[in-house]
Amino acid sequence: MRLRPLALCVLLSSFSTPLLAQSPALPSPDRVRLDRLQLMQGFPPPAERQVTAANFLSQYPNVRWAFHHMRELLPSRNIARGAGPVSELPVGEDWRERIEALRFTGPDGNELSFIEYLTDSYADSTLVMKDGKVIYETYHQGQTAHLPHQLWSVTKSFTGLIASMLIEEGLIKADAQVTDYLPELEGSGWQGATVQQVLNMTADIDYSEIYGDERSDVLQYAVAAGMVPAPADYQGARELYSYLPTIGAAGEHGQGFIYRTVHTEVLGWLVRRASGQRLSDLISERIWQPLGAEQDAYMLLDRHGTGWAGAGMNATLRDLARFGEMMRNEGRFNGRQIVSSSVVRSILEGADREAFKASGRDFQPGYSYRNQWWISHNADGGYEALGVHGQMIHVNPTVGLVVVRLSSHPIASSGYTFPTTRPAMMALADLLR
Amino acid sequence: MRLRPLALCVLLSSFSTPLLAQSPALPSPDRVRLDRLQLMQGFPPPAERQVTAANFLSQYPNVRWAFHHMRELLPSRNIARGAGPVSELPVGEDWRERIEALRFTGPDGNELSFIEYLTDSYADSTLVMKDGKVIYETYHQGQTAHLPHQLWSVTKSFTGLIASMLIEEGLIKADAQVTDYLPELEGSGWQGATVQQVLNMTADIDYSEIYGDERSDVLQYAVAAGMVPAPADYQGARELYSYLPTIGAAGEHGQGFIYRTVHTEVLGWLVRRASGQRLSDLISERIWQPLGAEQDAYMLLDRHGTGWAGAGMNATLRDLARFGEMMRNEGRFNGRQIVSSSVVRSILEGADREAFKASGRDFQPGYSYRNQWWISHNADGGYEALGVHGQMIHVNPTVGLVVVRLSSHPIASSGYTFPTTRPAMMALADLLR
């Protein structure tokens, strides 16, 4: 495989601490401002500004343009907002100056301001809501408001929420075996795993996410999804449904939490099989339309039309704010109960914090992972949907805070941004408390 | 090239009369009803119902699903409807029974009903407006209302309209040479051709559209656009901007009309260069948003993000009706003048009918082709935007008639459907006159 290290990073959300030490030399955020890069400008653009499906992940800073234009690179399916009116996103007091000037202590002990934090983490756009009102909304450095942004693993939290709804409705049983719904996975690594273990990523499978290993499973996943082109000598599966059953067994299910995107692809398959509907249609009908979203969202697809349930959703900042606000209000938004409060409350209970420690994600101390959401178990009851390269929906129910940040960080792993994000969110909560 | 004949048909809108004689055995329309085919149903669909970018054109009846799902197969760019209200599409008297029962004489002298005509031409959906009101709107055999449909060469009429608007505004000069704007085409077949000659397709170039010829230029076009996969031994250009300059010179410009899609690709390039905007943005800002379209439309792209100016637009039936109604009203719709009436009137003047005869399109007697529109020069002043596989916007200003028909005919060329379409439209006009 001829993928460069940065390209591989995108696939790596779990990692070991030693990897963090190899902090690569990053370009100055000012040098990769989108409004200076002129990516894809001109007819045709000069070769060095040409972004393609083949180079968007391997050549930074191409993602600064690509993350707002994924459907122009890859096949996609619409997540329709429907024909209803756009819901109001009320505007509150303008906290811009106070938020941007807010100072806090980063993980290395240095003090920095909130705007330095955003800039240094290559934020594309940021929105803060307090008690249901927008108090900060910024599109940084020429970034775009109206185009859906690639969400990476924030997608997982949508898939997990839909699965949770289907469980409550009795369409899926959390303690059933995955193979009860997907006999195609008999004999695979998911044999013997329950739906809940897949939801919480405690099912164990023989799936590695290792840098630079030409046979690494994570590269096969990326090729199967159509995320990266298949190398000339590639012999593996080229779409998700034939790839997933090839993943073998590992240890005992239900022990440690290990973050693996393919679990969510299995979950997406299970949701489709159980409901008879595509994930994109489920999200449209059950979430996007009732939310009164401003824009259609969309899902990226493999070459057989299967959505990337673990990584492929694209949506705008403001629509994600509506979604976050709906979660904060235990499923209520736009004058209606969109998700039952018991589904939201069940997710927020979290999972086994001891099992979580196995993941080595020391930058999320005390956390657990339940139904594809990151639960902090902190005093404020905070939780997140997170995606690589800096995508985040953060909710702090105690303070009434919803933060959405979309980003195009050169390094995929949340491990490079979250150690600063965590104290930043705490400082913001204290400012607004 | 391993493309099957039906796949090639899609690219062939010009053809010689002898080809028409080779009428292939077509599947019964009833056998290929979308609601029976179950294409792309199941997770995963069975192999024989799997539609992909590689098989949608080569394996009929896959287009019956694909033409409503092109963005799920290929990269695409949004044509935004904006945030404004949806414009009204007033409903008039219900003419369904009378329209479907309407009998007329087909080209072979046999009588048939209007509904037989629609069914036998594999119509997906049909809408008729009379004096600004919808009197017939049908989605046939399980076809879809809300998903944009592939328009093929109806796209050309949008590109031609945008070019005409820019000409009126002085941004492009109709009598300037194409190479004045696109020096990249110096030394190519377009050397010495004027903008107007490209608009009217009387520029002559060394570009053949021949069935079964493995080196045919039309196959290169399809590969360059990303419409069909490149065969293993393919050595040519793989995107439009590098392909177009390779097309060489032929006879004298400004003589006979010969229908060639690459002219419209040059026109799209010219429009982008002159305006500094993408075609999809121009259509959005100047047409789709002012129209008050119900749905976003979209444009299919090559692998470098260049829209298929000659073939890549997708839109819904109802939004095309709005567009047709705007044309019928000389540029006025939704309470505003969207295109100046002088631009519309100039297009409707048509071009040289003698030059048109050179095309061998005997099924359009008396026609000319001006600014990418088919002008009938008949007593009613009728005109059309036409696309392969049966796409059509038909306007009859005298009768106040707008007909939009979207279709997935097994044979691409309008020559297979238009000989019946022409008397069908005449009969419909007489019914409503």
Fold adopted by A170-263: Methane Monooxygenase Hydroxylase; Chain G, domain 1 (1.20.58)
Contact: A76, B76; criterion CB under 8 Å: yes
Chain A residues within 8 A of B40 when measuring between CB atoms: 305
Range of lowest pLDDT (A145-154, B24-33, B42-51): B24-33
Contact: A77, B72; criterion CB under 8 Å: yes
Chain B residues within 8 A of A303 when measuring between CB atoms: 52-53
Chain B residues within 8 A of A83 when measuring between CB atoms: 86, 294
Q: Which residues in A311-324 are b (16+ Cβ under 10 Å) and which e?
A: bbbbbbbbbbbbbb
CB contacts < 8 A, A to B, total 71
Q: A69 vs chain B: nearest CA distance in angstroms?
A: 8
Do residues B78 and A74 make contact, with C-beta atoms less than 8 angstroms apart? Answer: no
Q: Which residue of B has its CA nearest to A270?
A: B43
Per-residue pLDDT band for A172 (boundaries 50, 70, 90) equals very high
Percent over 70 (pLDDT), chain A: 93
**Facing residue for A296 by CB, picked from B77, B272, B296:** B296
Quote the pLDDT of residue A38.
95
What is the identity of the amino acid at A187?
A: G
* Helix B154-168 and helix B341-348, axial crossing angle in degrees, nearest 10: 120
Q: Half-sphere exposure of A263 toward its Cβ, with a 13 Å CA cutoff?
A: 31
Quote the pLDDT of residue B1.
35
Rounded mean pLDDT of chain B? 92
**Facing residue for A43 by CB, picked from B69, B77, B269:** B269
- pLDDT tens digit string along A107-134? 999 999 999 999 999 999 999 999 999 9
Chain B residues within 8 A of A44 when measuring between CB atoms: 241, 304, 306
Per-residue pLDDT band for A213 (boundaries 50, 70, 90) equals low
Contact: B40, A301; criterion CB under 8 Å: no
Per-residue pLDDT band for B208 (boundaries 50, 70, 90) equals confident
Contact: A75, B80; criterion CB under 8 Å: no
- Give kind and range of the element (H or E) at residue B162: helix B154-168
Q: B56 vs chain A: nearest CA distance in angstroms?
A: 11
Percent over 70 (pLDDT), chain B: 93
pLDDT at B23 over 90: no
Average pLDDT estimate for B166-171: 98
Q: B313 vs chain A: nearest CA distance in angstroms?
A: 14
Contact: A303, B86; criterion CB under 8 Å: no
Global ipTM: 0.94
In words, the CATH class of domain B167-263 is mainly alpha
Quote the pLDDT of residue A210.
58
Chain A residues within 8 A of B146 when measuring between CB atoms: 80
**The token pair that represents B64 in the structure block:** 């019956």
**Facing residue for B52 by CB, picked from A69, A77, A303:** A303
Contact: A74, B78; criterion CB under 8 Å: no
Quote the pLDDT of residue A217.
82
Give the architecture-level CATH label for domain B1-150+277-433: 3-Layer(aba) Sandwich (3.40)
Do residues B257 and B200 make contact, with C-beta atoms less than 8 angstroms apart? Answer: yes
Per-residue pLDDT band for A388 (boundaries 50, 70, 90) equals very high
Gap between the Cα atoms of A389 and A387, Å rounded: 7
Choose from B78, B240, B269 for mutation: most chain A CBs within 10 A: B78
Quote the pLDDT of residue A209.
66
Per-residue pLDDT band for A227 (boundaries 50, 70, 90) equals very high
Do residues A126 and A116 make contact, with C-beta atoms less than 8 angstroms apart? Answer: no
**A67, A14, A37, A24: which is closest to A389 by C-alpha?**
A67
pLDDT at B215 over 80: no
pLDDT at A94 over 60: yes
Quote the pLDDT of residue A419.
95
Average pLDDT estimate for B260-271: 97
Query: Dihedral sign, CA of A318, A319, A322, A326?
Result: negative
Residue B422 Cα to chain centre, angstroms:
16
**Facing residue for B273 by CB, picked from A40, A43, A86:** A43
Which whole-number Å values give the CA distances from B219 to A413, B13, B116, B243, in the listed order? 43, 13, 34, 12
**Facing residue for B72 by CB, picked from A273, A296, A301:** A301
β-sheet bridge partners, residue B404: B127, B393
Of A353-367, B164-178, B414-428, the range with the highest mean pLDDT is B164-178
Average pLDDT estimate for A147-156: 97
Q: Specify whether B153 is catalytic.
A: yes
Q: Which residue, chain included where needed, has tokens 């690509």? A: A66
Gap between the Cα atoms of B180 and B184, Å rounded: 10
Quote the pLDDT of residue A360.
87
Average pLDDT estimate for A283-302: 98
The one catalytic residue among A13, A125, A153, A284: A153
Average pLDDT estimate for B45-66: 96
- Looking at the complex, does the CB of residue A41 fall below 8 Å from at least one CB of chain B? no
Quote the pLDDT of residue B24.
65
What is the identity of the amino acid at A79?
A: I
Per-residue pLDDT band for A211 (boundaries 50, 70, 90) equals very low
Range of lowest pLDDT (A143-147, A291-295, B316-320): A143-147
- Looking at the complex, does the CB of residue B149 fall below 8 Å from at least one CB of chain A? no
Contact: A76, B74; criterion CB under 8 Å: no
Same fold, A1-155+164-169+277-433 and A170-263: no
Q: What are φ and ψ of residue B121, in 5° steps?
A: -100, 20
pLDDT at A23 over 80: no
Kindly state which CATH superfamily the domain A1-155+164-169+277-433 is placed in.
DD-peptidase/beta-lactamase superfamily (3.40.710.10)
Per-residue pLDDT band for B22 (boundaries 50, 70, 90) equals very low
- pLDDT tens digit string along A322-359? 999 999 999 999 999 999 999 999 999 999 999 999 88
- pLDDT tens digit string along A27-69? 999 999 999 999 999 999 999 999 999 999 999 999 999 999 9
Average pLDDT estimate for A384-401: 97
Do residues A56 and A62 make contact, with C-beta atoms less than 8 angstroms apart? Answer: yes
**B418, B421, B424, B404: which is closest to B148 by C-alpha?**
B404
Q: B332-341: which pairs have CB atoms within 8 A and are 24 or more residues apart?
A: B333/B87, B333/B290, B333/B291, B334/B87, B334/B290, B334/B291, B334/B292, B336/B290, B338/B286, B338/B287, B338/B290, B338/B291, B339/B161, B339/B165, B339/B286, B339/B287, B340/B165, B340/B168
Which whole-number Å values give the CA distances from A9 to A5, A18, A24, A416, in the listed order? 6, 15, 11, 11
The domain ranges of chain B are 1-150+277-433, 167-263
pLDDT at B219 over 90: no
Quote the pLDDT of residue B13.
38
pLDDT at A10 over 50: no
Quote the pLDDT of residue A19.
36
Detail the DSSP E strand segments found in B211-335.
248-249, 297-300, 313-315, 332-333
pLDDT at B14 over 90: no
